Amino acid sequence: MEFDSSARTGRYKRAAAEAAVDRFLLPGMRVGLGTGSTAAFAVRRLATLRGQGHLLDVLGVPTSRATQALALELGIPLTTLEEHPELDVTIDGADEVAPDLSVIKGGGGALLREKIVAQASRRVVIVADVAKLSPKLGTHWPVPVEVLSFGWRSQLRFLESLGARVTPRKGANDAPFLTDQGNLVLDCAFGPLDAPSTLAERLGARAGIVGHGLFLGIATDLMVAGPGGVEHRVRPT
């Protein structure tokens, strides 16, 4: 039976995530556990290997409550950045990946914790299916911006002044989506970004914006899966 495209995408996500776990996780490591459907395959792979007696002393730091719940359900021992402020590696998904391995993240709203965990990691491995590859960030995906609810409409105006078409993210029953920190997310469609680092600086300098989904110079490796199998790419120097 032929896979439909979503089944194919799921197969690629799984292949990339499992290959990353097999390649990068070693005994004794402290590991950032990403969020989203692709990263969940990595968490499940770690659990499977543990079930076979491997990587039993690996400790995970989850990047969201959802990942924490999944890891606990699968019996993966967890720690925190308070106990282990430096991690060996993080494996996480992405929404859009540019050729220099800069990425947009936050489709699931976990961008802030994901960035904190990634920046605490010596190595950051992005796992993705080929559909996530893009010539320029912003081509296919908006930049999620996490804002405090206090003054959020002022942030919306500010983001529009930077050229974005802004959509406040909705959660269940059309209620505002809230992050694990209780903040709002404004999805900002800028179109293809010629200078993502300039945008990141502007977002970073604005009070009330607590995080954004531009991960620039953070990913060290990419495991990307498609019809030809899984390919490992390293961030160009």
Ligand X SMILES: O=C[C@H](O)[C@H](O)[C@H](O)COP(=O)(O)O
> Residue 54: CB partners within 8 Å, gap ≥ 6?
27
Shortest Å, Cβ 28 to ligand X: 25
Stretch that binds ligand X, among 72-80, 88-96, 157-165, 221-229 (CB under 6 A): 88-96
- Total residue length of the chain: 237
Please indicate if the annotation marks 51 as binding a ligand.
Answer: no
| DSSP per-residue codes, 28-71 | T-EEEE--SHHHHHHHHHHHHHHHTT-STT-EEEESSHHHHHHH
Q: What are phi and psi of 162, to 5 degrees?
A: -85, -5
- Does residue 159 belong to the site contacting ligand X (CB under 6 A)? no
Which residue numbers are catalytic?
114
Q: Which of 18, 96, 114, 146 binds ligand X (CB under 6 A)?
A: 114
Q: Which of 59, 110, 117, 159 binds ligand X (CB under 6 A)?
A: 110
Q: Which of 38, 68, 134, 183 binds ligand X (CB under 6 A)?
A: 38
- Does residue 142 belong to the site contacting ligand X (CB under 6 A)? no
Stretch that binds ligand X, among 20-28, 32-40, 73-81, 201-209 (CB under 6 A): 32-40
The DSSP H or E segment spanning 104 is strand 103-104
CA distance 57 to 64: 21
Please indicate if the annotation marks 38 as binding a ligand.
Answer: yes
- Does residue 105 belong to the site contacting ligand X (CB under 6 A)? yes
Contact 229/159 with Cβ under 8 angstroms?
Answer: no
- Does residue 61 belong to the site contacting ligand X (CB under 6 A)? no
Shortest Å, Cβ 107 to ligand X: 3
Helix 65-73 with 37-51: angle, nearest 10 deg: 20
Contact 159/214 with Cβ under 8 angstroms?
Answer: no
Q: Which of 32, 60, 106, 138 binds ligand X (CB under 6 A)?
A: 106
Rank residues 1 and 172 by Cβ distance to ligand X and give the closer one: 172
Q: Which of 60, 62, 108, 138 binds ligand X (CB under 6 A)?
A: 108
Contact 117/154 with Cβ under 8 angstroms?
Answer: no
List residues near ligand X by CB under 6 A.
34-39, 92-95, 105-111, 114
